[in-house]
Amino acid sequence: MVPAVSLAPSALPRPGQYVGGEWRNASGAGQETVLDPATGAPLGAVPNAGPADVAAAVAAARAASDAGGWAEATPRARSEALYRLADELSGMVARLLDVVVAETGCPVRLARSQQVELPLRHLEYWAEAARRPELTGRAPVVTPRPGGPATLGAWAVRREPYGVVAAITPYNFPLLENVMKLGPALAAGNTVVLKPSPYTPYSALLLAEAAERAGLPAGVLNVVTGGAEVGAALTRDARVDLVSFTGSDAVGAHILAAAAPRLTKVLLELGGKSALLVCADADLELAARIGARNITTHAGQGCVLATRHLVHASVLPEYLDRLAAAVTAVRVGPPRDPATGMGPLIRPAAVERVAGYVAGAVRDGAGVLTGGSAPTEPTGGFYYRPTVLTGVGNDWPVAREEIFGPVGVVIGFGSEDEAVALANDSAYGLAGHVVSRDAGRAFQLAGRLRTGTVDINGGPGYTNPDVPFGGRGRSGLGRENGAEGLDEYTQLKTIKFHGG
């Protein structure tokens, strides 16, 4: 087995706060130790921003917004600045990959495409999207006036930035999540204060380094590091015009409540408990591959992953056999080993949470088809074997709550109406999946699922930045990506005039 390789200290970004175009020492108490999930060893430490640091970052963003240089820059000028940022990041791909594998534990073969190349593709999309015209016209109208000349009237609709955006991001896909927020926010003319997860702060600090080299104006992008108290300070600050958060539904609810007294706009991309519907006519080999991928990808640490597998009773036994084979074929190991298919969870608490859910389900009568424990190899790190549970009810905690780990449950159904009812019987509504040889019927089923996205037979295999992404219910508010995602960061102003 290829041993885990520690991150070279030279690859780490400077552990400061990036505020107003300058690096500053943090004034907060203590620091966050950043761990390598593959070994449990510390990678380094990042200081906690104090209240003065958060206030300074918001003030810098506010000044950059109010001065108008960025908001009133031409779409082309903002586009060129974002392309410069993308170019800077493209020149540090090897370093980005080294850092993101170290801080997330994501296997290198997945990290290269999903953790590095995909965010760069998204950033280039936003650089081009920044060129969208800010003004659109409406048809002029002639209004007759009794005893006088008619009035020629017209309207122009202008999209304007909100101002200061507080972007709070999670640990699982840090560079991608950072780009999915700062990309549309900056493209629309807003300024940003970015607060990354304390588990994965390095990706955000590398973004700050790239922004400095790309010559983004001072205060347009600011980065502060720390724990929940830093995010809370951002959401409470009256100078923040929009809060964009990705994370758990519980934290999202707190952010929404904190923003409510000021009626601050909030965008929330939260959790999921997505269902995979395997129809009676499904290609079971394909279905099992999709099912295994949704359990094991990044150790189940993905909000869109389908962890409820709803399978037609007529094919349930064969699906279970194929799923067990597909899941057990995934190699659990150090993320820097190219043969590794699944790496560690982010922290020991995540392993304990997963183990607790599995133990509770077993006590309630669930069967363990695969996994159900930590592996004996590799030693060290925060690993848990990919687990499939059977004999589970759709009302059990393992079927209703987001575990955020490599655990899937399989539930049988007898009719498509029952499958749809089971899939929609959830507090979440982020994603869904349908596997059927009948594409038309699969499309009709997709339309009946109360979710923000649905993949049919595995989907297109590409996370397209031009396609809106988001959920319903406790999966969040608003949309990211696409023209719809850019719209979220703008306000409409109607300008009315007459020509005589």
Q: Return the closest-CA partner of residue 319 out of 282, 294, 293.
A: 282
For residue 20, how far is the Cα from the chain centroid?
Answer: 26
**Alpha-carbon span 225 to 18, nearest angstrom:** 9
- Spot the catalytic one: 32, 177, 269, 402: 269
DSSP-H helix ranges across 113-271: 118-129, 174-187, 202-214, 228-236, 249-259
The DSSP letter of residue 377 is S
269 is catalytic: yes
Angle at 153 between CA 150 and CA 154, to 5 degrees: 160
DSSP-H helix ranges across 364-438:
397-400, 416-424
CA distances from 40 to 17, 37, 62, 110, 358 (A): 25, 5, 39, 21, 23
* Residue 271 half-sphere exposure toward CB, CA atoms < 13 A: 20
**What is the greatest pairwise CA distance in the chain?**
93
What are the beta bridge partners of residue 153?
A: 141, 498
308-325 burial string, b = 16+ CB within 10 Å, else e? bbbbbeebbeebbebbbe
CB 488 within 8 A of CB 479: yes
Among 7, 92, 85, CA closest to 44? 7
Place of tokens 């952010």: 255
In the sheet with 17-19, reading across from the earlier edge strand, the strands are 22-24, 17-19, 221-223, 191-195, 164-168, 242-246, 265-269, 476-477
Q: What is the DSSP string of 198-234?
A: TTS-HHHHHHHHHHHHHTPPTTSEEE---SHHHHHHH
Query: For 25-78, where are the E strands, in sequence order?
Result: 31-35, 42-47
Q: Is 360 helix (H, G, I), strand (E, B) or coil?
A: helix
Q: Which two tokens stand for residue 277?
A: 């519907």
Active site residues: 269
